[in-house]
Amino acid sequence: MNAGVCPHAARSTMFHPSSTVKALAGTPCARPARRGPGLVLRLALCLSQCLVLALGWAAPAQAASRELVFGMSAAFSGPARGLGMEYYRGLMASFEHTNAHGGARGWRLVLSVRDDGYAPLPALSNTIGFVEQERVFALLGYVGTPTTARVLPLLKHYESERMILLFPFTGADLLRERPYDAFVFNLRASYFDETRGLMEALYAAGKRRIAVFHQGDVYGRNGWDGVRRALSAHGLSIVADATYRRGAAYTQDFRREVGLLQAARPDAIITVGTAPACAAFIRDARDAGVSAPIATLSFADADNLIKFLLAQAKVTERDYTTGLVFSQVVPSFDDPALPAARLYRQVMDQARVALPAQLMHEEYIPNSRSFVSFEGFLAGQVLAEAVRRMADAPTRARLIEMLQGMKGLDIGIGEKVSFGPGHNQGLRQTYLVVYRGGGFQNVKALPGGQP
């Protein structure tokens, strides 16, 4: 893209206060939005475009022919914004890396971003915007189960256009089963995988009385269901459960919920929620004297959760981080044995992924590295490989074809990525992590008493 387009970008950001932002990785300047939010604005845009026509017309047209735009709707505001931000950073870092090396066989990867605040209805309207206004190549990296669950019927609606959702950040069973499995490609292990992995480890550590604290929606229920199923395999059931309303912030008081679970004398508590809610629950549980191990799923964003607890620890001078188990769907990015982890660290250190300014409604200090952004990075790498394979003529139908034909792709994390017809989940392995000595450490087994 030449400099002639830059005024476009500057102006378009000025004229578009909507939550849509397109970030072209590796360039300092975003491509102009093709559609404005309103007729008047669009007219103003057209007029000003005439002024720079001579300079800037040919370039975007040419560039547009060699770039693929992906639509990402995620939480960039609200308590769950940490996930959206981090996943976005990982994806962008990967895109930037790919684009800096000539793109995916000449195709620049572009990410168009909209904020849904972890609420289903905005996610729905964002998706319609992506498909009908921006006409993105595919949807990529949606964050959250309830939001994605609401979008799935829409994908079925767009079946004729073969619109698909790539690598959403959720482990919900819904995305892996009929009837929507055909429209979604998952990279990460499911919540069932995660809860099973967690439960096996807890069971091995002698924990029999398991309580569940979960979000009162699809995500929470999915996790709860996973725990229930894993327990029933051992002939056990959940001793107590409690729900909370989606959107809870760290300031929420969970002492009542802690009391309800505590009454059942659990050996361990599995939480299925977002980082602020889980952190708040852990805080109240530890404050109430609950010493049982507390486990979280990958969606709880261990990095941000630990940030909350460390900040709390400074205030109350208590240790909140011992006895916590985090389930993860990607290995530790600190593992020097993994080529992907090495590349991720290198790219993240070099990349200057600016968080989209229009989406920065609330302050967010990004983590330099995190599990979530690592996962985003890996997703970006897989996508780049898929684009590379169809670089001669990329279409959605071919993208689906390429992904389904992907067998044993080594992305440098040990486990290989495989997709196939009726098999829309690339990775299955989960990892257990604890926070120890100022960092995350992989563990194979949990300490515990006799079974």
Partner 1 sequence: MRFQGLFLRLLVFMVAAFGVMAVATSILSGRELNDSMVREYEGRAVALARSIADGNTETLLSQNAGAIQAAIDLHQEMGGLSYILVVDPHGEVVAHTFTPVVPEEVLAIVRDTPGQAHFGAGHETSTLTLPPDMEVIHVAQPVLGGKGGYVHIGLDKAPIRKAIGQAIFRQQMLTLGVFLAFIFLAFFFSRGVTGPLRKLADYAQRVANHDFSATCEVRSDDEIGSLAEAMRSMAGQIEGHVTQLESSVREATSGLEDALGSLSAIVGNIADGLLVVDEAGLIVRHNPALLRMFGLAGQDLAGRPCTEVFGAEVGHAATLSRADALRATAAPREVLATRPDGASFPAEITVSGVRLTGGAVQVCILRDVSVAKKAEQEREQSRALLERMVAERTRDLSRTNTQLKIEVAERKVVGDALRRAEAKFRGIFENAAEGIYQFSPEGRYLSANPAMAHIFGYATPDEHISALSDVSPYVEESRRDVFLATMEEQGQVRNFESQVRRRDGSVIWISENARKVVNPAGQTLFYEGFVSDITLRKEAEDRLMHQAFHDSLTGLPNRQLFMDHLRMAMERARRRPDFRFAVLYMDLDRFKVINDSLGHDIGDQLLRHVARALLNCARSTDTVARFGGDEFAILLEDITAPRDAIHFSRRILDDICQPLDLDGREVMTSGSLGIVLRTERYDRPEALLRDADTAMYHAKTMGKSRFKVFNQKMHTKALETMEIEVALRRALDPSLDLEELVLLFQPILNIRARRLAGFEVLLRWRREGGREMLPGEFIPLAEETGIIYPLDYWVFAQACCSIRNFEQALEARPARSRADFATNINISAKHFRSPMLVGHLEQTLRSCGVDPRGIALEITESVLLDNMGGAREVAARIRELGLGLCIDDFGTGYSSLSYIRRFSVDAIKIDRDFVAGLGREAGGGSEAIVKTLTTLGAGLNLKVVAEGVETVEQLAYLSGLGCQYAQGYLFAPALSEAEALELIGAGAAEAWPGFPELPGG
| CB 354 to partner 1: min, Å | 35
Please list the residues that pair with 23 across neighbouring strands. Answer: 111
Work out the number of other CB atoms within 10 angstroms of the CB of residue 9: 21
Q: First and final CA of the chain: distance in angstroms?
A: 63
Nearest approach, Cβ of 332 to partner 1 (angstroms)?
28
8 A C-beta contact, residue 246 and residue 217? yes
Nearer to partner 1, 182 or 260 (CB): 260
Toward partner 1, which CB reaches closer, 127 or 381? 127
State the Cα angle at 182 between 399 and 24, rounded to 5°.
Answer: 40
Shortest reach from residue 57's CB to partner 1, in Å: 46
| Cα–Cα distance measured from residue 231 to residue 210, given in angstroms and rounded to the nearest whole number | 8
DSSP sequence for 352-370: --PPPGGG-SS-----SS-
Q: Closest distance between partner 1 and the C-beta of residue 157, in Å?
A: 16
Q: Which residues contact 346 (CB under 8 A, 6 or more apart)?
A: none
Shortest CB 51 distance to partner 1, Å: 47
Q: Where in 66-168 does DSSP place strands (E)?
A: 67-74, 108-115, 138-140, 165-166
Distance CA 282, CA 305 (A): 10
Positive/negative CA dihedral, 427, 432, 435, 438: negative
Residue 220 or 293 with smaller CB distance to partner 1 = 220
| Binding site residues, partner 1, CB under 8 A | 145-146, 149, 172-174, 177, 191, 216-222, 224-225, 228, 241-245, 256-257, 260
The residue among 84 and 146 lying less far from partner 1, judged by its C-beta, is 146
- Closest contact distance (angstroms) between CB of 287 and partner 1 is 17
What are the two backbone dihedrals, phi and then psi, of residue 388, each rounded to the nearest 5 degrees? -55, -40
Q: Is 165 or 417 the residue whose CB approaches partner 1 more closely?
A: 165
Residue 170: which of 151, 136, 196, 147 has the closest Cα? 147
Give, in degrees to the nearest 5, the angle at Cα 393 between 391 and 397. 105
Task: Indicate the residue among 177 and 335 with the shorter CB distance to partner 1.
Answer: 177
Which residue number, 300 or 413, has a Cβ lying nearer to partner 1? 300
Give, as one character, the DSSP assignment of residue 5: G
User: Which CB atom, from 86 or from 116, has the smaller least distance to partner 1?
Assistant: 116
Please, what is the minimum distance in Å from the beta carbon of residue 152 to partner 1?
9
The angle at the Cα of 282, spanning 209 to 275, to the nearest 5 degrees, equals 115
Shortest Cβ 245–partner 1 spacing (Å):
5
CA distance 20 to 318: 42
User: What distances in angstroms separate CA 311 from CA 100, 194, 316, one per listed residue?
Assistant: 37, 27, 9
Considering the complex, what minimum distance in angstroms separates the CB of residue 174 from partner 1? 6
Nearer to partner 1, 36 or 146 (CB): 146
